[in-house]
Amino acid sequence: MAATYKGTIGVIGNGSWGTALAKILTDNGNTIFWWLRNPTAVAHIQAQHRNPHYLTSVQFAPGSLIPTTDLKQVLEQCDTLVFAVPSAFAQGVLTSVDAAYWQNKKIISAIKGVLPESDLLLNDYLTTHYQYDLDNYVAITGPCHAEEIALERLSYLTFSGLNDALTCIVAQAFQTRYLNTTHNHDIWGAQYAAVLKNIYAIGAGMAHSLDYGDNFLSVYITNCYREMYLYLQEHFDKVHPSDEQPDFHTSAYLGDLLVTCYSLHSRNRTLGTMLGKGYTIKAATLEMNMVAEGYYAARAMQHVSHQYKIDLPLATCIYRILWEGAPAATVFKEIEKMLS
C-alpha cells in the first residue's frame, strides 16, 4: 500500500468519481476534507459513513474524512485539492470564493472535460484568470471507472504534470492493491484525449442504438483513435512547452478511449444509447442522474478545434447531432462513408 500523502487533502465534488477518489485516498490512510453541496448528504456521511447518492456500497472508516458544505473551510485547511466537480459546474465553484483561496494550492484535476463557459481546460483557466503556477498542477486520466474502484477491481490511472517530482508523489499517493498508477509530462494531451474520448463514446452508444454491430463499432473506434491521435500530435506542437513527445499509444489515450466506448459503466456511451433510442437530452440526463461530460465537450471542442485550425470530422458529426438537432440515423450514414 502507498504511503500516506504528506499534506492535507481536500476532495471537491461528491459524484461517483469524487467518491471513488475519496475511497482510494482514505484506503491509503489519509484523512481528507470532503466538500459536498448538499447538507443532507453531509449528515448522512457523518452518520452512516456512506455517500447516499453515489457508489453507495462504499463504506468509509469512521474518522477518515470530514464532510462539509463549507468550501472555504476546505480551502483554508488543505494544501492539496482534488478537483472532481463536473466541468459544467467547475467554473461556478472556482468563482464562488475569492481567487486568493486557490493560490499556492496543489491542484489535482479529476475533471475530464473543458469548462464550457470559457472553452478552457482547468489548468488553462487557472493560469489565464489566476496566474496559477502550473508546477503545482496534476491531471488524472484513466482508463478507470468509478464503479470498478468501488468493487476494488484492478484498475489503472495516469497522472500528468509538468513538475515531475510532484506528479510522481501524487501518483504514488493513489497507488493501492487494486489500483496501479503511472505518470507522464503531458497535461494538455492527456486531458484533451480524455475530452475527445467522451465525445466519441456518445457516438458509440448511438451506433449501438441504431443497430450497428460490433464490426462497425470496431471500425468506428479505430477511426476515432486516428482522429484523436492526429489532433494530439498537431496540438502538442502548438501548445506544449517541452520537446518531450509523449507516447500516445498508451492506456491514458487509447485505453481510455476503448473502455469509454465499450463499457456499460460509461455514462457517455449510456447517454448516446438513450439518445439513439429517441430520448431528449433533458430526459436522458434526468434518468441517468449523472453528468455525461461528452455532451458539453462536443460544443467546446468545436470552438477549440477552430481556434487551433485542427479538423475533427467525427467529433463534428456527434456535435451536429447533440447541438444542432441533426438526425442521428442520417449523420451515421455520413459517418459510414468517412470510415476506413
Is the CB of residue 61 less than 8 Å from the CB of residue 100? no
Hey, is 249 helix, strand or coil?
Answer: coil
User: Residue 71: inside a domain, yes or no?
Assistant: yes
Rounded (5°) CA angle 94-95-97? 90
User: Residue 289: inside a domain, yes or no?
Assistant: yes
Report the C-alpha gap between 336 and 310 in whole angstroms.
22
Domain boundary among 170, 185, 200: 185
- Claim to verify: residue 112 and residue 20 sit in the same structural domain: yes
Count of Cβ atoms closer than 10 Å to residue 333 Cβ: 11
pLDDT, one tens digit per residue, over 170-220 is 999 999 999 999 999 999 999 999 999 999 999 999 999 999 999 999 999
- Claim to verify: residue 319 and residue 204 sit in the same structural domain: yes
Report the C-alpha gap between 305 and 181 in whole angstroms.
30
- Claim to verify: residue 36 and residue 160 sit in the same structural domain: yes
- Claim to verify: residue 169 and residue 211 sit in the same structural domain: no
User: Residue 1: inside a domain, yes or no?
Assistant: no
- Claim to verify: residue 139 and residue 239 sit in the same structural domain: no
- Claim to verify: residue 175 and residue 255 sit in the same structural domain: no
User: Residue 2: inside a domain, yes or no?
Assistant: no
- Claim to verify: residue 167 and residue 214 sit in the same structural domain: no
Q: In what helix (H) or strand (E) does residue 155 lie, and over which residues does it extend?
A: strand 155-160
User: For the sheet containing 155-160, what is the strand order?
Assistant: 65-68, 32-35, 9-12, 80-83, 106-109, 137-141, 155-160, 179-184
- Claim to verify: residue 131 and residue 179 sit in the same structural domain: yes
What's 89's domain CATH number? 3.40.50.720
User: Residue 4: inside a domain, yes or no?
Assistant: no
pTM: 0.93
- Claim to verify: residue 54 and residue 84 sit in the same structural domain: yes
- Claim to verify: residue 179 and residue 220 sit in the same structural domain: no
- Claim to verify: residue 197 and residue 258 sit in the same structural domain: yes
Q: How far is CA 213 from CA 80, 199, 218, in A?
A: 45, 19, 9
Count of Cβ atoms closer than 10 Å to residue 189 Cβ: 25
Number of domains observed in the structure of the chain: 2
What's 313's domain CATH number? 1.10.1040.10
Hey, what amino acid is at 59? Q
pLDDT, one tens digit per residue, over 248-302 is 888 889 999 999 999 988 999 999 999 999 998 888 888 887 778 899 999 999 9
Q: What is the pLDDT of residue 85?
A: 94
User: Residue 283: inside a domain, yes or no?
Assistant: yes
- Look up the domain containing 70 and give its range: 9-185
- Claim to verify: residue 168 and residue 269 sit in the same structural domain: no
User: Residue 136: inside a domain, yes or no?
Assistant: yes
pLDDT, one tens digit per residue, over 114-129 is 998 999 999 999 999 9
